[in-house]
Amino acid sequence: MGLRGEVFSTRFSTEKRTYFFNVKENRKGDLFLNIVESKKHGDIGGYERQSVIVFDDELEDFTRELNKAIDFMKKKS
């Protein structure tokens, strides 16, 4: 088990945001996906972070619905 239960982590950055995709393991050994968006917070400095957690047993449904949204966006662009 890694830092704070992380077993895998990847990220990508744009000019304004960084996205983190962290696979973590809880104390029971169950895996979950933690998706984090981090962006600079205006002129006061610091960062604003938003997080979504997707549990292993919900991953298939989450992926299916995410792909539907992505397909829709691709058709509109």
- The boundaries of the domain holding residue 9 are 3-76
Q: What's the pLDDT score for residue 66? A: 97
| pLDDT band (50, 70, 90) for residue 2 | low
Q: Which pLDDT belongs to residue 55?
A: 96
Distance CA 54, CA 15 (A): 26
In the prediction, which pLDDT does 40 show?
87
Say yes or no to pLDDT of 45 above 90.
no
* 3-class secondary structure per residue, 19-35: EEEEEEECCCCCEEEEE
Q: What is the CATH number of the domain that holds 66?
A: 3.10.450.700
pLDDT band, very low/low/confident/very high, at 70 (cuts 50, 70, 90):
very high
**Predicted TM-score (pTM) of this structure:** 0.83
- Structural domains in the chain (count): 1
Q: What is the CA radius of gyration of the chain?
A: 15
